Amino acid sequence: MNTIYKIVKSEKLNIDTFLLTVESEKIAKKSRPGQIVHIKCGNGTEAYLRRPISICSVDREKGTFDLAIQIRGKGTKILSCLKAGDDIDVMGPLGQGFSLYPRHKKIIAVGGGIGIFPLLQLLKDHPAQNKKAILGFRTRSLIILENEFRQSCNELLIATDDGSYGEKGFVTELLKKEVEKELPDMVFICGPTVMMKAGVELLKKHNIPCEVSMEQRMGCGIGACLVCVCKIKKDDDWNYTQICKSGPVFSGDEVIFD
Amino acid sequence: MNNINLEINIAGIKLKNPVIAASGCFGFGREYSRYFDLNRLGGIAVKGLTKLARKGNPPPRIAETPSGILNSVGLQNPGVKTFIEKEIPFLRSYGIAIIANASGNTIEDYEYMVEILSSADVDGIELNLSCPNVKEGCMSFGSTSNGVFEVVSRVKKKAGKPLIVKLTPNVTDITEIARAAETAGADSVSLINTLLGMAIDAKTKRPILGNVTGGLSGPAVKPIALRMVYQVSKAVKIPIIGMGGISNGTDAVEFLLAGASAVMLGTAGFVNPMAWVETIEGLEKYMIENNVKSVTELIGGLIA
């Protein structure tokens, strides 16, 4: 199975985040919003394991997909040095993406930090008439992909922790206001665990379904090694379930946030 | 092709080639069957099984290390009965050896496992006396010669299938442990299981693994594994299955030369899902280039 593709473009988005455009008709065509790819970083001597990255957006006509990657350690640092024309070893698309149901007419996508990335293609692909995005950043200088998001939804709300842009505060506070104004049919949340937990609890009170995208240190990326697990409810009990295979997207009400 | 013979018989387990997927890295084969034809393998050692289903340890369960990984999965598995019912029929659709990896908290658990697996459609049983990630059983039996002798001699009476004892490297002298397994009736030994290790996040001042400690595997452990296979091959007569950091055909040849009759690999597949197939191809290439007709010629062929 071929996993080697060409990089079309690498572009700096902010101080520590960059956008890689990769040529792969297979991944562009097959992937669904919320799915991940598993990337080898260099020759594997400096960073042994692959890195799981959410697909940010796809261009199905050109046969390319975009990955927005924050430099967090050795692996992402190696990826940040790649240039147009370089080869990249990518497994995917992997896992289960977001649910796109036509019956959901009004949706809200809520993202915090690097959690905003998988929401872009979700907003582009979702058939809803009314699509709202609530994105959170620490501060103004870190805000990225604002135009792309604005073009992909009906309304974009931005929150910053320090109030340097948009609303001051957390995205979950904005979500609360929006939900109280008008109930959405479905909400998608991706970001830090505390944020997703707060979002799920809020929506539960209003009886609104939601999906969250989980993150964990990953091994094989395909469900065999059982390392990237989270607690998922099953009947009256729960199981550790593989995020790479059964997720990363789960229904908000089935996840147990510790 | 080119008249080379990769077949090997490990204590009655027939393998069409000496490359086996290592337990814990390959699930029950379903996931990797989408990446390559499982028929290419010599065999599969399935995910570690226990009497009842186990949830495993809290995440994070993996930490990257220089040229390797630490894992602390903790034997998450659906239980041996579910394996027999749901996974054996799938695995049997391939022409490969099925090796059931069995763990327990008590000697009675091990007896139960070996008994039930002996009447199931598997080709061999790998007795896991070496998992570093569970509190009871396993490595606590496998760390002393007496412990190994006691468990193996007890379960041997119940075993209707070839019994492979998987050894831990976390001991002072692995040859003593291997001898104890052989004396107690083991048909083969497999080594090494992971080396007990730890990773700390300096930023948060916390351990990276949810279970604090974990087992080290990957290329980082290969020299230790090779040394142990070599030493054990001098100490016992039963066949050895070697593992620890094997990523390609050359690595596999090295283990055979050190005295292993077959090899297992697992961690390498996380980076390269084709690692098993490429290892078999690399072994074939080595044999052709070096005019080796049968893989058995390589076993213990070290010039020293």
Give the residue among A102, A1, A99, A89 at the shortest CA–CA distance from A53. A89
> Could you give the domains of chain A?
4-94 (2.40.30.10), 98-204 (3.40.50.80), 214-258 (2.10.240.10)
Q: State whether residue B154 is helix, strand or coil.
A: helix
Could you tell me which residues are beta bridge partners of residue B210?
none
CA atoms of B31 and B25, how far apart (whole Å): 11
Chain B residues whose beta carbon lies within 8 Å of the beta carbon of residue A226: 27, 47, 56, 61, 73, 76
Q: Which residues of A touch B276 (CB under 8 A)?
A: none
Please judge whether B60 and A45 are an interchain contact, meaning their C-beta atoms are less than 8 angstroms apart: no
pTM: 0.95
User: Does A227 contact chain B (CB < 8 Å)?
Assistant: yes
Tokens of B95: 């022409």
For residue B34, what is the nearest residue in chain A, using CA coordinates? A1
Put simply, the answer to whether A40 touches B271 (Cβ < 8 Å) is yes
pLDDT of residue B2: 63
Confirm or reject CATH 3.20.20.70 for domain B8-56+73-195+218-297, answering yes or no: yes
Three-class secondary structure assignment of A113-167? HHHHHHHHHHHHHCCCCEEEEEEEECCHHHCCCHHHHHHHCCEEEEEECCCCCCE
Q: Which residue of A has its CA nearest to B75?
A: A226
Can you list the residues of chain B whose pLDDT is less than 70? 1-2
C-alpha span between B200 and B105 (Å, rounded): 29
pLDDT in tens, chain A (258 residues): 789 999 999 999 999 999 999 999 999 999 999 999 999 999 888 999 999 999 999 999 999 999 999 999 999 999 999 999 999 999 999 999 999 999 999 999 999 999 999 999 999 999 999 999 999 999 999 999 999 999 999 999 999 999 999 999 999 999 999 999 999 999 999 999 999 999 999 999 999 999 999 999 999 999 999 999 999 999 999 999 999 999 999 999 999 998
Domain boundaries, chain B: 8-56+73-195+218-297
- Residue A216, chain B, CB below 8 Å: the answer is yes
B125 prior amide bond cis, ω within 30:
no
If you count residue pairs, one on A and one on B, with CB atoms under 8 Å apart, how many are there?
A: 91
In A4-108, which residue ranges form alpha helices assigned H by DSSP?
A: 25-30, 74-80
Residues of A in Cβ contact (< 8 Å) with B208 = 217
Alpha-carbon dihedral B235, B240, B246, B249, rounded to 10 degrees: 110
CA B116 from centre of chain = 20
Listed residue (A207, A168, A209) closest to A189, CA to CA: A209
Q: What are the helix and strand counts (H, E) for chain B?
A: 10, 16
Residue carrying the six token digits 């700390």: B200
Flag whether residue A103 sits within 8 Å of chain B, measured between CB atoms: no
Among candidates A220, A225, A226, which has minimal Cα distance to A239? A226
Concatenating the DSSP letter of every residue in B64-131 gives EETTEEEE-----B--HHHIIIIIHHHHHTSSSEEEEEE--SSHHHHHHHHHHHHTSS-SEEEEE---
Query: Is the separation of the CB atoms in A139 and A161 below 8 Å?
Result: yes
User: What does the pLDDT read at residue A144?
Assistant: 95
> Nearest-5° angle of CA B140, CA B142, CA B145?
115
Using a CB-CB distance cutoff of 8 angstroms, which residues of chain A are in contact with residue B46?
A: none
ipTM tops 0.90 = yes
Q: How far is B60 from chain A (nearest CA, A)?
A: 6
- Shortest alpha-carbon distance between residue A139 and chain B (Å): 22
From chain B, the residues in CB contact with A44 under 8 A are 271
**Nearest CA-CA distance, residue A230 and chain B, Å:** 7
What Cα–Cα distance (Å) separates residue B102 from each residue in A23, A58, B88, B241? 45, 45, 14, 16
Subunit contact B71:A225, Cβ cutoff 8 A: yes
Identify the pLDDT of residue B3: 84
Rounded distance between C-alpha atoms, residue B46 and residue B57, angstroms:
19
**pLDDT (tens digit per residue) in B178-235:** 999 999 999 999 999 999 999 999 999 999 999 999 999 999 999 999 999 999 999 9
Nearest residue in chain B measured CA to CA from A227: B61
Q: What is the mean pLDDT of chain A?
A: 96
